Amino acid sequence: MTLTERPAVLFVCVHNAGRSQMAAGYLAALAGDRVDVFSAGSEPGDQVNPTAVEVMAEEGIDIAGAAPRILTTDAVRQADVVITMGCGDACPVFPGKRYEDWDLTDPAGQPVDVVRGVRDDIRSRVEALIAEIAPRP
């Protein structure tokens, strides 16, 4: 796979309300303008999980204004890297894209301590991803 000068990353989970929103928040905050960040869901929820918003705010990252979005073929087409988080076979596959599946607990309905653990796992994965696709010059 060849990454563009400024790689685009798409995070996908079922509801686009927890895991994918936290991952997108971290990537945008930690990589800044070195990466284009998108997130979507195969069955988007009505709002971002309030507990996910709360635990990200503890990290100084505001995802309160984010809204769940439907996964489209165009979103996958524009991404260099597609990271799925439990969306099964809903994500279209295009040749030449990098695909990863992150096996993460779904934070929906979980207590805040569990959601913090998911958040911390996501942060470490995002940091590793940045080191691979958009290291500092």
Please compute, for residue 58, the number of CA atoms within 13 A of its CA located in the half-sphere on the CB side.
14
75, two tokens: 């979103």
Asked if 107 and 18 count as a contact pair (C-beta separation under 8 A), the reply is yes
From the list 9, 10, 13, 14, the catalytic residue is: 13
From the list 40, 87, 129, 134, the catalytic residue is: 87
From the list 31, 91, 126, 133, the catalytic residue is: 91
- 41 in active site: no
Distance CA 97, CA 132 (A): 15
- 13 in active site: yes
- 91 in active site: yes
Q: Please say whether the dihedral angle defined by the alpha carbons of residues 68, 76, 25 and 105, taken in this order, is positive or negative.
A: positive
123, two tokens: 């942060």
Residues marked active site are found at 13, 87, 91
